[in-house]
Amino acid sequence: MSHSHDHDHEHDHEHPAAPMVEEITDFEVLEIAVRELAIEKGLFTAEDHRKFTEWAEQIGPAAGSRLVAKAWTDPAYKARVLNDAVEACKEIGIDWTEPTGSGTPSDYMNLRVLEDTPTLHHVIVCTLCSCYPRPLLGHSPYWYRSPNYRRRLIRWPRQVLAEFGLLMSPEVEIRVEDSNQKCRFMVLPARPGGTEGWSEEQLAEIVTRDTMIGVALPRAGRTADDTRPVHKARRPVPHETEARP
Amino acid sequence: MPTRDELSKYYSTSAQFSPVHHQQNDWPYEIANGEFTAYMVPPHDVGGQADSPVRYEEKEEELWELNTYVTCEVLGWRGIWNSEERRRRGNNDLGASLYYGFPYYGRWIWSAARMLVDKNHVTLTELLEKVAEVKARNEQR
């Protein structure tokens, strides 16, 4: 805790000065303790943990990008997506029953894909916590879990979108969907102009994570989300950059 | 064991987290109905509260955070808790001080430790001994 790099330094005085060697935090200790006790008590095996980690490290927004690109180029596929998104995910290689055979314990297998139109824009939030379509988009960004985003998006959606750099015309209706444990949402943005004749692979490149949350819009040439300040990890997940673009 | 001075620091810090510490008479006989309602608002229900803009950042994931996510999920996979019953409630119903005071995955791992003790999978002594062992192991490095 003494190495928290957030903007709140008021509690620093209660801890001794940082030692020369980077100190292990109380949460790191607790994480190791809980994991080791659970394995020692036979609640799960190290192999269970390894297998789940392998799955958790390879999920990411690339799957969602493929789904959107395919839906843009194939109207019949789009209809299947809007009808039964979990089933339609199989066609782009995402099986929501992974990695346990019955899905993850927290991602209930019910997904609704929200189709944007020129006059309707969707954006997703989870006001109660952090529900997010992990199998398709990977782990949620930290700001998505923040009380600030959660409380403000549903009250001032246009203002919050503007803070993300997305200025929506007053003629466009903004619809905020509040995710919950029994239903996950993902935004299917409208296909932008200037992409006529593009292949699915080309289209997928402009479908970034933020466009599927609804805080950005895809456009030709925009292949990455806007740059934001990055809070660096002290001991990051190895190879995170490769696993989570 | 913390020293007297250390304990005093911890108490004064926690008093800043909890407004009730500032009342001389901290043994209420009755409270106003409005006060009861205020206590009943779950801290994780944040919809509609007033707030001001902040700078949204991206955050790299710490290894312990990924491990925490996986441990909590695998505990669910193996039927030790289900996500509705203890997991979600454990992550969220901590009281406002811990809810806003802990990092996101700090709440997760804290609730997992608490669940293991609550459901008698480990005793509190076993948990504390393991925590001490892990700390000692890391100090030796």
Which residues in chain A are closer than 8 Å to B76, comparing Cβ atoms? 104-106
- Per-residue pLDDT, averaged over A100-129, amounts to 94
Q: Tell me whether residue B66 is in a domain.
A: yes
Measure B134 CA to nearest chain A CA, in Å.
Answer: 6
Q: CA A141, A176, A94: angle at the middle one, nearest 5?
A: 55
d(CA B107, CA B68): 10
Q: What is the pLDDT of residue B37?
A: 87
CB contact under 8 A, A49 and B74: yes
Q: Could you tell me what percent of chain A has a pLDDT over 90?
A: 83
Q: Tell me whether residue B113 is in a domain.
A: yes
Number of structural domains found in chain B: 1
Asked which of A24-33, A175-184, A187-196 is least confident by mean pLDDT, the reply is A175-184
- Does residue B60 belong to the interface with chain A, where contact is any CB pair within 8 Å? yes
Residue A168's nearest CA partner among A126, A117, A228 is A117
CATH 3.90.330.10, chain A: domain bounds: 60-229
3-class DSSP string for A133-180: CHHHHCCCCHHHHCHHHHHHHCCCHHHHHHHCCCCCCCCCEEEEEECE
- Does residue B117 belong to the interface with chain A, where contact is any CB pair within 8 Å? no
User: Can you tell me which residue has the tokens 């456009």?
Assistant: A219
CB contact under 8 A, A228 and B126: no
CB contact under 8 A, A31 and B77: no
Q: What is the pLDDT of residue B27?
A: 87
ipTM of this complex: 0.91
β-strand partners of A231: B59
Please tell me the pTM assigned to this model.
0.89
- Best mutation site among B51, B56, B75 for testing chain A: the one with the most A CBs within 10 Å? B56
Which residues in chain A are closer than 8 Å to B64, comparing Cβ atoms? 25, 27-28, 31-32, 235
- Per-residue pLDDT, averaged over A60-87, amounts to 98
Positive or negative: CA dihedral B55, B61, B67, B69 = positive
Q: How many CB atoms lie within 10 A of CB B96?
A: 15
Task: pLDDT band for A16, please (50, 70, 90 cuts).
Answer: low
Q: What is the pLDDT of residue A244?
A: 41
Which residues in chain B are closer than 8 Å to A53, comparing Cβ atoms? 66-67, 70
Q: What is the pLDDT of residue A17?
A: 53
Q: Tell me whether residue B85 is in a domain.
A: yes
Q: Could you tell me what percent of chain A has a pLDDT over 70?
A: 88
d(CA B125, CA A50): 28
Q: Tell me whether residue B97 is in a domain.
A: yes
Domain span holding position B133: 62-141
Give catalytic status of residue A126 as yes or no.
yes
Q: Tell me whether residue B47 is in a domain.
A: no
d(CA B94, CA B103): 13
- Does residue B134 belong to the interface with chain A, where contact is any CB pair within 8 Å? yes
Q: What is the pLDDT of residue A4?
A: 43
Residue A215's nearest CA partner among A225, A223, A206, A224 is A225
- Per-residue pLDDT, averaged over A219-245, amounts to 82
Annotated active-site residue in A65, A89, A126, A140: A126
Q: Tell me whether residue B108 is in a domain.
A: yes
Q: Which residues contact A216 (CB under 8 A, 6 or more apart)?
A: A164, A165, A166, A208, A210, A222, A225, A226
CB contact under 8 A, B62 and A151: no
CB contact under 8 A, A235 and B46: no
Q: What is the pLDDT of residue A21?
A: 53
Chain B residues 14-43 with a CB less than 8 Å from chain A: none
CB contact under 8 A, A178 and B47: yes
Identify the helix (H) or strand (E) that includes residue B105.
Answer: helix B104-118
CB contact under 8 A, B66 and A237: yes
Q: Is the peptide bond before A99 cis (omega within 30 degrees of 0)?
A: yes
Q: Tell me whether residue B31 is in a domain.
A: no
Residue B67's nearest CA partner among A39, A124, A207, A161 is A39
At A42, the amino acid letter reads G
Q: Tell me whether residue B2 is in a domain.
A: no
Rg (CA), chain B: 19
Which residues in chain B are closer than 8 Å to A31, comparing Cβ atoms? 64, 67-68, 71, 109
Asked if the A60-229 domain carries CATH number 3.30.460.80, the reply is no
CB contact under 8 A, B122 and A148: no
Chain A residues 65-124 with a CB less than 8 Å from chain B: 100, 104-106
Each residue's pLDDT expressed in tens, for chain B with a length of 141 residues: 788 998 888 888 888 887 777 888 888 899 999 889 888 888 888 888 888 999 999 999 999 999 999 999 999 999 999 876 778 888 888 888 899 999 999 999 999 999 999 999 999 999 999 999 999 998 866
Q: What is the pLDDT of residue A5?
A: 45
CATH number at residue B112: 1.10.472.20
